Copies of this chain bind each other. A is one copy, B any other.
Amino acid sequence: MDNLLYWIGLVAVAVNALTGVLDAGRKRMDLVGAVMVGTATALGGGTVRDVLLDRTVFWISDQTYLLVAIATTLVVFFAVRGLKLPQRLFLIPDAIGLALFTVAGTQIALHWHAPWLVASLLGVTTGVVGGVLRDVLCNEVPLVFVRGELYASAAWAGALVLIGLQELAVSPVVAAWAGMAVILLARLLAMAFRITLPTYTERQ
């Protein structure tokens, strides 16, 4: 499981870095701006989780994450530069990053002996904060707060599946895959069919 978690973390960092660069590109940032936004998107969620848990920040204790984030941003910057990409393309890697980070964050919080409710919320935080940082730095309303499609709720559902299955003695590896599948499916279906939660005001 530890091995799986490590790889999930690395892939999540790369995928989130990718979405950060794509978003920075739409704002026509320069090389260093794009690298900074990509790196913040990749490392932001896990950093907040580690600070809240008073754990050594993951990219300080293991530089591999930092190198993967920077390398990904550089490759994407030069590969995609000048191409015309459809605006909503980055929503798919964004959903993948959400699934990977939420599961990794929840599992790490459980290892750190957080109670289940706290662990599930720290998992959602890990999944969501990177994208919030990206959107704030690019001066957009964070995707997670956009009314309509499931986002944080999809992440929370997946975190609870991950925790619940392990309570039922399912192996952590299977539980992790199930949690990620729930998040990814819920998010993609919500985007495809515009599934929404109740909103606050019916009338205005």
Residue positions of A touching B, CB distance < 8 A: 21, 24-25, 28-34, 36-37, 47, 51-54, 56-57, 59-60, 63, 66-67, 77, 80-82, 114-115, 117-118, 121, 136-137, 139, 141-142, 144-145, 147-148, 150-153, 156, 196-204
Contacts and interface: CB of A to CB of B under 8 A. Distances in A.
B201 A25 contact: yes
Contacts of A77: 200
Contact of A153 (B32, B67, B115, B156): B32
Top-6 shortest CB links A-B: A25-B200, A30-B197, A32-B153, A31-B197, A30-B199, A32-B152
Contact of A34 (B81, B118, B200): B200
- Copies of this chain assembled into the complex: 3
A201 B82 contact: yes
Contacts of A60: 52-53, 114, 118
Contact of A57 (B34, B52, B82, B201): B52
B82 A202 contact: yes
A135 to B, nearest CB: 11
B67 A117 contact: yes
A152 B37 CA distance: 12
